[in-house]
């Protein structure tokens, strides 16, 4: 948290220094303003000032608006200071790359755990996608690739439709929702199309952050600290494969989690832990052969 204090007005406030420190309402507001910025409805300076005012709990009143009109020069100077302060305190919201400023999202907390669309309630995955099934990962990974190549929003709708389902019995992956059925995606996606654009954007940012965490983060499996990063090393030459689908075929053939359907229902962390064990065993055997 960053703390700002203005002694002359007896004002002080704590400002989050990352999305991880924000409450859900704060995340919602930032996403709404970011979506307006990306739709060119507001300027970047206006975006930063709006977000700063909201996070600091500053509200514009009729009195403050009247003061600005009566003292335009002083109001302009104050506005410049606010913009500079906003740029300083809200720098964590963006990063700079070759294409200019790029939004940054850094929390694996699901701030949209439930979607109420009309009378229908849909339940989403838990923090970090840790209760995701292998089949859900395969399907949403394909949707994300299609969205990246086409920029067609229907693929985001499909991703949300696959992961958000009505409450149901406990699934093998650990979620209390209806079983995952690919054939029901289109029906549910028709509901998802009614979601506001900023919520879809929040979902996409969150999903990408969770996948990055799965690939590079640290987990505890059976009391041991584990990183799945070796499975996603770009130095590994996997040859021509079907990606995650080829893994599903291989595990189903070995009958580790059952047939194709049983493998699809397995928890993603369980699958990755097994693959990591396979890799360690293969690397050890390869090293022994090399030494001999």
pLDDT, tens digit, for every residue of 254-287? 999 999 999 999 999 999 999 999 888 888 777 7
- Give exposure, 109-125, as e/b (b: 16+ Cβ within 10 Å): bbbbeebeeeeeebbbb
Among 50, 114, 112, 126, which residue's Cα sits nearest to residue 82?
50
pLDDT, tens digit, for every residue of 73-124? 665 566 666 667 778 888 889 888 766 678 899 999 999 999 999 899 999 9
* Between residues 244 and 104, the one the model is more confident about: 104
Among 67, 52, 66, 35, which residue's Cα sits nearest to residue 196?
35
Per-residue pLDDT, 259: 93
Percent of the chain with pLDDT over 90: 57
Per-residue pLDDT, 198: 96
Residue listed under structure tokens 């005012």? 53
Query: Does the global pTM surpass 0.85?
Result: yes
Helix (H, G, I), strand (E, B) or coil at 15: strand
The CA distance from 218 to 85, in Å, is 35
Per-residue pLDDT, 240: 45
The two beta strands, 218-221 and 224-227, are antiparallel
Average pLDDT taken over every residue of the chain: 86
The answer to which of 39-43, 97-101, 181-185 has the lowest mean pLDDT is: 97-101
Among 259, 236, 239, which residue's Cα sits nearest to residue 249?
259
Per-residue pLDDT, 186: 93
pLDDT, tens digit, for every residue of 125-173? 999 999 999 999 999 999 999 999 999 999 999 999 999 999 999 999 9
Per-residue pLDDT, 265: 95
Sketch the domain layout of the chain as residue ranges: 2-103, 108-292
Residues 6+ apart with CB under 8 A from 273: 221, 226
The answer, yes or no, to whether residue 238 has pLDDT greater than 70, is no
């Amino acid at each position: 948290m960053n703390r700002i204090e203005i002694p002359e007005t007896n004002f002080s406030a704590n400002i989050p220094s990352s999305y991880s420190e924000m409450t859900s309402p704060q995340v919602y507001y930032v996403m709404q303003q970011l979506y307006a910025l990306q739709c060119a409805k507001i300027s970047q300076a206006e975006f930063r000032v709006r977000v700063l005012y909201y996070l600091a709990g500053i509200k514009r009143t009729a009195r403050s608006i009247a003061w600005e009109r009566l003292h335009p020069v002083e109001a302009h100077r104050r506005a410049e200071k606010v913009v500079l302060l906003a740029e300083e305190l809200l720098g964590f919201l963006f990063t700079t790359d070759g294409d200019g400023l790029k939004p940054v999202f850094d929390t694996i907390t699901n701030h949209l755990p439930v979607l109420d669309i009309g009378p229908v309630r849909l339940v989403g995955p838990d923090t970090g996608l840790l209760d995701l099934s292998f089949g859900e990962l395969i399907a949403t990974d394909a949707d994300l690739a299609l969205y990246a190549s086409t920029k067609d929003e229907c693929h985001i709708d499909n991703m949300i439709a696959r992961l958000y389902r009505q409450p149901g019995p406990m699934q093998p992956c650990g979620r209390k929702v209806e079983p995952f059925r690919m054939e029901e995606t289109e029906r549910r996606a028709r509901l998802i199309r009614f979601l506001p654009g900023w919520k879809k954007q929040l979902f996409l940012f969150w999903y990408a952050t969770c996948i990055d965490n799965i690939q590079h983060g640290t987990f505890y499996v059976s009391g041991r600290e584990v990183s799945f990063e070796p499975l996603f090393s770009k130095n590994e030459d996997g040859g021509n494969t079907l990606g995650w689908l080829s893994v599903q075929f291989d595990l189903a053939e070995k009958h580790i989690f059952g047939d194709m359907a049983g493998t699809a229902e397995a928890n993603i962390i369980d699958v990755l832990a097994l693959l990591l064990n396979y890799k360690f065993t293969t690397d050890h055997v390869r090293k022994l052969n090399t030494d001999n």
